[in-house]
Amino acid sequence: MKSFTLEQIAKITDGMLTKSAEVSITNIAPPKLADEHTLALALGEEEIENLAHTKAKAALVPLGVNIDGFSTIEVERPRLAMMKLITLFYEAPATNEGIHPTAVIHPEAKVGLNVSIGPNVVLAKGAVVGDNTKILANCYIGNNAIIGEDCFFHPGVNIGDRVKVGNKCIFHHGVSLGADGFSFVTENPDNIEQARKDGEIKDTPKEHVIFKINSIGSVVIGNNVEIGANTTIDRGTIENTTVGDNTKIDDLVMIGHNCKIGSGCMIVSQVGIAGSCEIGDRVVLAGQAGLADHIKIGEDSIIAAKAGVTKSFPPKSIVVGAPAVPRKEFIKQLKIMKDAGELIKKFKQYEPLLSAFESEHNTEA
> Distance between terminal CA atoms of the chain?
95
The b/e string for 313-349 (b: 16+ C-beta within 10 A; e otherwise) is beeebebbbeebbeeeebeeeeeeeeeeeeeeeeeee
Distance CA 72, CA 56 (A): 11
The secondary structure of 296-325, three-state, reads: EECCCCEECCCCEECCCECCCCEEECCCCE
331: region left, alpha or beta (phi > 0 left; psi from -120 to 50 alpha): alpha
For residue 100, indicate whether it is catalytic. Answer: no
Kindly list the distances between the CA atom of residue 92 and the CA atoms of 152, 172, 288, in Å, as whole numbers in the listed order. 10, 12, 29
Give me the helices (H) in the chain, please. 6-12, 45-50, 78-89, 191-198, 327-364
Q: Which of 37, 100, 257, 361 is catalytic?
A: 257
Q: Are 219 and 163 in contact (CB under 8 A)?
A: yes
Chain centre to alpha carbon of residue 31: 29
Q: Computed from CA positions of residues 270, 276, 280, 281, in that sequence, does the dihedral angle turn out positive or negative?
A: positive
Pairing of strands 134-135, 116-117: parallel
Catalytic residues: 257
